[in-house]
Structure 1
Amino acid sequence: MKKVTSLRLLYQLSLIMLIVAAPAFAQSPASETSDRSDDVSDPLNRYQIRYNVTRDGDNYGKATRELAVDDEGTYQLSTYFTASILFYDIERREKARFVVEDKSIVPLKYTLSDSRTFKRTKNTAYLFDPSAHTVKGAEGEAATSVPEKIYDPLLVYEALRVAVSRGLRGDTTFNVYDGGKPEQFHFTYNGSETIETSLGKFETEKFTRVRETSARKTAIWFATSVNYLPVQVTQENEGDEQATLTVAELNLL
């Protein structure tokens, strides 16, 4: 029983990394959209964040999130997650390359590597062609037509952060290419909250990812004083906490 419980807990902890180190769950297309500004008028500021991943106060893993930009103006958003319980380990890495064109985030390439004990490493890659409005997955696959404005499973949360920093204070929906097809991710706005972390108190704007076909919810707190970076994330299922990710170190570069 202890072994089964530990595996279930580690799986639940991995769900929380959908924000920082794993692809987002697919969701049935949502019909509701809202006015929002996810345009980028200035270059995105580089940053590094380190998180602790906990449940019921116990620490089970760590995660990092970093945004960098090269001399040619190409950005790379990178995440890393590791967790371990008894004999079972998870290690996940994600990268999203993108540029800013006409004040908007434009995805170029997304990669994921997921390694788990007793399982073969899973590797995923998406190549975006902004001019043709297509995405190509594994080598040899045909390109898939997608909406003009679409994001990968990692970059969508950066697009949400930018939109919040530009004044978004309402429900919104993003197009996301995930699982080999376009999906829509819906977020609800929950208002302003003050949260306390090991780095002190943060004034935040809270958004929650909701799923039409599941009771699972993912809440995200964007801190207004640090460029609206996500300082806390909580995964819930039917009202019960599954895991919480809280900032432990933060650097604006």
Structure 2
Amino acid sequence: MESASPRRRYLVRSGTVRKYSRNRQLLGGLLIGLIGLFLSDALAALPPEFSARYRVSLGSITVGEARLELEHLPDDRYRYRSVSRPTGITGLFYRREVSEYSEGKVTDSGLQPERYYYERRGRGSRNVELRFDWEKGRVINLVADDRWQMKIPPDTMDRLVSQLQLMDDLKNGTSELEYRIADGGLLRTYRLTVEGRETLHTRLGEFETLRVTRQQTEDDSRATTFWAAPALNYLPVRVDHRERNDAYRMTLDEVKGF
């Protein structure tokens, strides 16, 4: 993978929890709003199998948690999962859990998703499935009883596995990052920039990190910054997200596998 060429992938998008009528997407959005070494030559895009737990806070108040898990499958394949849920007093008013997983394979050019699934349980339940047909260069979208398809370029990803690809891009020294994501029936492009190095103090200890920001557009006032730790294969140890007047933070509280 050449560091001189920006990769077209995507980080995660963030959402909100407090102000329940307006901010219903915090936990799932922050993960997908988050923040992704070959065992063979093909598997260089995958970090080791791992699991991670993040604390989600609004100001000084903890409002939820998010969990990630990567599994290596036979034949240079992967399965990546995320689960986010409200905790504490937030869970009393906001009974919703969001689960996602992505399955696919590792190719010489990077991670290639084959299936992505999103499930939101509780109030406002929703199921979404994406099926990638690489022979025909398309993705099939299944949402409730609706089914449609759209053309996609070869480097398109789903919004979950793009986290893993980003981790690999940072490991390879790419500073200008661009990602194309099939999301909501649209092909979205996200651009990220490595701004520098910073030392962070966390519950797990002190980490040297790369500070990465998502570039804003004129019609999008949201701002996302995350800190990726080389010692953890560039897994984010913190993610900050600002939207309107709300500021959210995801902090790594537990990690296994690194």
TM-score by structure 1 length?
A: 0.82
1:250 to 240, 255, 258: 255
Other-structure match for 2:24: 11
Structure 2 unaligned spans of 5+? 1-16, 36-41
Amino acid at match of 1:16: L
Question: CA RMSD of the aligned region, Å?
Answer: 2.4
CA deviations 1:20-45 (Å, max 9, x no partner) are 59xxxxxxxxxxxxxxxxx9636531
Shift of 1:13: 3.4
2:78 to 62, 75, 78: 75
Amino acid at match of 2:197: S
Shift of 1:10: 5.4
Work out whether residues 20 and 64 of structure 1, in 8 Å CA contact, stay in contact via their aligned partners in 2: no
Q: Secondary structure at the match of 1:50?
A: strand
Other-structure match for 2:53: 50
Q: Distance in 2 between matches of 1:7 and 1:42?
A: 38
Q: Distance in 2 between matches of 1:175 and 1:99?
A: 17
Shift of 1:205: 0.8
Work out whether residues 173 and 185 of structure 1, in 8 Å CA contact, stay in contact via their aligned partners in 2: yes
Work out whether residues 53 and 65 of structure 2, in 8 Å CA contact, stay in contact via their aligned partners in 1: yes
Q: Distance in 1 between matches of 2:220 and 2:151?
A: 27
Check 1:49–1:75 CA distance in 2 against 1; reply closer, same or farther (3 A cut): same
Q: Distance in 2 between matches of 1:63 and 1:215?
A: 24
Shift of 1:12: 6.7
Other-structure match for 2:197: 192
Q: Counterparts of 1:1-253 in structure 2 under 5 Å?
A: 6-7=19-20, 11=24, 13-14=26-27, 15-19=29-33, 41=44, 43-84=46-87, 85=90, 86-117=92-123, 119=124, 121-138=125-142, 141-168=147-174, 170-212=175-217, 213-237=219-243, 242-252=247-257
Q: Distance in 1 between matches of 2:113 and 2:232?
A: 24
Q: Distance in 2 between matches of 1:186 and 1:8?
A: 30
Shift of 1:6: 4.1
Quick one: percent identity of the two aligned structures?
24
Greater shift, 242-251 or 11-20, is seen at: 11-20
Shift of 1:210: 2.9
CA deviations 1:143-190 (Å, max 9, x no partner) are 32111111111122221111001111x232111101112111111222
Shift of 1:224: 0.9
Shift of 1:59: 1.1
Work out whether residues 100 and 106 of structure 1, in 8 Å CA contact, stay in contact via their aligned partners in 2: yes
Q: Secondary structure at the match of 1:153?
A: coil
CA deviations 1:13-68 (Å, max 9, x no partner) are 334232459xxxxxxxxxxxxxxxxx963653111101111122221111100110
Shift of 1:87: 2.1
Shift of 1:206: 1.4
Structure 1 unaligned spans of 5+? 22-38
Amino acid at match of 1:80: V
Q: Distance in 1 between matches of 2:241 and 2:198?
A: 17
Aligned residues: 229
Check 1:20–1:78 CA distance in 2 against 1; reply closer, same or farther (3 A cut): farther
Work out whether residues 41 and 103 of structure 1, in 8 Å CA contact, stay in contact via their aligned partners in 2: no
Shift of 1:129: 1.5
Q: Secondary structure at the match of 1:17?
A: helix
Shift of 1:199: 0.3
